[in-house]
Amino acid sequence: MNRAGRAGLASASPVWPGTKASHRRGSRRRPRDNSRVSEQPEHYFSERPAVDDRERTVTFDLDGVGYELTTSSGVFSGSRLDPGTSVLLNKVVLPDTAGTFLDLGCGYGPIAAVLAQRGDAEVWAVDINRRALDLARRNTEKAPGTVHIGTPDEVPADVKFDEIWSNPPIKVGKDALHELLETWLPRLKPGGVAWLVVSKHLGADSLARWLTEAGWVVDKHASANGYRVLRVDRAE
């Protein structure tokens, strides 16, 4: 039974990087996108989207498990499984042990829903878009694992992660993106790893260089359909 939760700092006004909160410190089956319509909302990274709420259903299959998620206008990739998210889920082997995982920029929750299929998984899924968070709660409420949905400022400062999974919000701008990663990557546990998927034409390679210059060990883990999956580890 899923135990969806929210950490209790709801009064804070969310800022994407979360720097205003105390926490600034094998072969796999390709997910099949069964939706045909593509839509990219103009301000999916806004806290409260102004566009009308038009819900729909997105379905995809991964490793023999079918997912049927509710999404809407005004959220990231609100009418399909985003191609980058599909590449990430396809190219990275899902955790095979218990752990604490972060879905950074969760949107309506497809990555969180997949990670929470393990009953012993604890998943934190964060976003600043309130509509996306409401959808993510609904989409993970029946998942076997423990899922916490909230804004960045609602994650307790002492929570550390075995893995961070993210299709990061590139369009917030380079400075905001860098601040976002500088905030969350240090919260990896020793031996932890981050998996990031970024479009090549939106700067995957330049992001990899920046991370390397910042002292992280970066591997271009996989590429497909115009996207790169970056593996990010702490330097020894």
Q: Model confidence over 196-215: pLDDT tens digits? A: 999 999 999 999 999 999 99
How confident is residue 176, by pLDDT bands cut at 50, 70 and 90?
very high
Can you give the pTM of this predicted structure? 0.80
User: Is pLDDT at 165 greater than 80 in this prediction?
Assistant: yes
Sign of the dihedral through C-alpha 99, 231, 112, 64:
negative
Mean pLDDT of 73-102: 87
Q: State whether residue 101 is helix, strand or coil.
A: strand
pLDDT on residue 3: 46
Please report whether residue 182 resides in a domain.
yes
Which pLDDT band holds residue 173 (cuts at 50, 70, 90)? confident
Whether residue 4 lies inside any domain: the answer is no
Position 10 scores a pLDDT of 34
Q: Is residue 61 part of a domain?
A: yes
Asked if the structure places residue 186 within a domain, the reply is yes
Window from 79-88, 174-183, 223-232 with minimum mean pLDDT: 79-88
CATH assignment at residue 41: 3.40.50.150
Confidence of residue 58 (pLDDT cuts 50, 70, 90): confident
> 217 versus 39: which is more confidently predicted?
217
Question: Per the domain annotation, does 8 fall within a domain?
Answer: no
Number of domains in the chain: 1
- Going from the C-alpha of 179 to that of each of 103, 189, 204, the distances in angstroms are 17, 19, 16
* Pairing mode, strands 121-126 and 65-72: unpaired
Task: Decide: residue 19, CB within 10 A, 0-12 exposed, 13-18 middle, 19+ buried.
Answer: middle
Residue 175 pLDDT > 80, yes or no? yes
Q: Decide if 10 is inside a domain.
A: no
Give per-residue pLDDT as tens, 101-143. Answer: 999 999 999 999 999 999 999 999 999 888 899 999 999 999 9
Beta strands in the chain (DSSP E): 32-33, 55-62, 65-72, 99-104, 121-126, 146-150, 161-166, 188-199, 216-224, 227-234
* Amino acid 30: pLDDT: 52
Region 77-106: mean pLDDT is 91
What are the beta bridge partners of residue 59?
68
Confidence of residue 77 (pLDDT cuts 50, 70, 90): low
C-alpha span between 98 and 94 (Å, rounded):
11
Residue 36: the pLDDT is: 41
Full domain range(s) for residue 201: 32-234
* Angle (nearest 5°) at CA 155 between 205 and 91: 35
13 in any annotated domain? no
Kindly report, residue by residue over 5-22, the tens digit of the pLDDT.
433 333 333 445 443 333
Contact status, residue 73 vs residue 18, Cβ threshold 8 Å: no
Q: Is the residue at 12 inside a domain?
A: no
| Distance of alpha carbon 154 from alpha carbon 128, whole angstroms | 10
The better pLDDT of the pair 230, 19 is held by 230
